[in-house]
Amino acid sequence: MSSVIIGLALGGCAKPPTQHVLAYQPVVTTTNSILTGSQPITKQPLPERIFSASHLGGRTMAVSSTNEIALRPGEVILTFDDGPRPGKTNEILATLDDYGVKATFLMLGSAAQAHPNLAQQVATRGHSVGSHTFDHVDLTKLSRQEALDEIARGERAVSLALAGSGHAVAPFFRFPYLSQTSFLRTSVMQGNMVVLDVDIDSKDYYKDTADVVAKRTMDRLDTRGSGIILFHDIHQRTVDMLPAFLAELKARGYSVVRLVPKDNSVFGRDVITAEAPERSETL
Ligand SMILES: [Zn+2]
């Protein structure tokens, strides 16, 4: 929510400020960038590079609630939903490593259960792993109890998949289809989970080409100036667009914030479905 407030405060034109021009250093832009085609991305000049011209990886932000997620102009958080998916997630991990950035993966319980080694690899490589329900259902179509069960079942499955990796599931949660009710949102937050909203939807689930996805995402980011970006690590176009997109982020002086839990003790917080019936047979 706070990032929305920031967006409003910046009047919707939140390009990084330009006063620190001394920090500018020339950056070699790859000529084969999918973002440098015949159609210009924007008619405005590129934002000045105020953070770091040479490092895309930005600060680490430790949060224990949604409203603690406060990005500065020029900062983004990368999130990948619906995985892990063999052949896709590992490619995305390689690209993130290439650029030295950390992302947050909101995994489906069903996918993590099916591919625990891949889920563990994501965590082992320093990314935050949260959850996204078990089966990717629209929670507003379920009863309240069924919805809470589905959220908890997803988190448990991701937690079990990570067992043995030395990494716990982060209490980060994203609603499938971003579909929620005030009851569910409040319940999740009262369970000390951190709801991750979306500021910039790449819409990488549309059957567009990789360059269309990259341009759409960059346009939206340039307009907004910062934000949480939604991708999915299950699409080939997302795998394909990510290297050039990150190169362009770097060239424009953005930095990628690493989001981590402030206190990642799974056992230290209330379980939102404490009164839900046991569902262990499904795990
Ligand atoms: Zn999803």
Question: Which CATH number does the domain housing residue 54 bear?
Answer: 3.20.20.370
Instruction: State the total domains in the chain.
Output: 1
Residue 23, both tokens: 């920090």
Ligand 1 centre distance from Cα of residue 170 (Å): 17
Quick one: pLDDT band at residue 19, thresholds 50, 70, 90?
very low
Here the contacts of 233-237 (C-beta below 8 Å, separation 24 or greater) are 233/80, 233/81, 233/82, 233/83, 233/84, 233/85, 233/88, 233/89, 233/92, 233/105, 234/82, 234/83, 234/85, 234/88, 234/89, 235/88, 235/204, 235/205, 236/88, 237/204, 237/208, 237/209, 237/210, 237/213
Ligand 1 centre distance from Cα of residue 66 (Å): 19
User: What distance in Å separates the CA atoms of residue 2 and residue 197, rounded to the nearest whole number?
Assistant: 10
Is residue 96 a part of any domain in this protein? yes
Is residue 132 a part of any domain in this protein? yes
Ligand 1 centre distance from Cα of residue 91 (Å): 19
pLDDT of residue 228: 98
Is residue 133 a part of any domain in this protein? yes
Is residue 36 a part of any domain in this protein? no
Ligand 1 centre distance from Cα of residue 176 (Å): 5
**Structural contact between residues 172 and 259, judged by C-beta atoms closer than 8 angstroms:** yes
User: What distance in Å separates the CA atoms of residue 22 and residue 18, rounded to the nearest whole number?
Assistant: 10
Residue 98's domain spans which residues? 2-23+44-264
Ligand 1 centre distance from Cα of residue 84 (Å): 11
Is residue 227 a part of any domain in this protein? yes
Ligand 1 centre distance from Cα of residue 21 (Å): 39
pLDDT of residue 29: 42
pLDDT of residue 2: 43
Tens of pLDDT, residues 157-215? 999 999 989 999 999 999 999 999 999 999 999 999 999 999 999 999 999 999 999 99
pLDDT of residue 48: 47
Tens of pLDDT, residues 54-77? 589 999 999 999 999 999 999 999
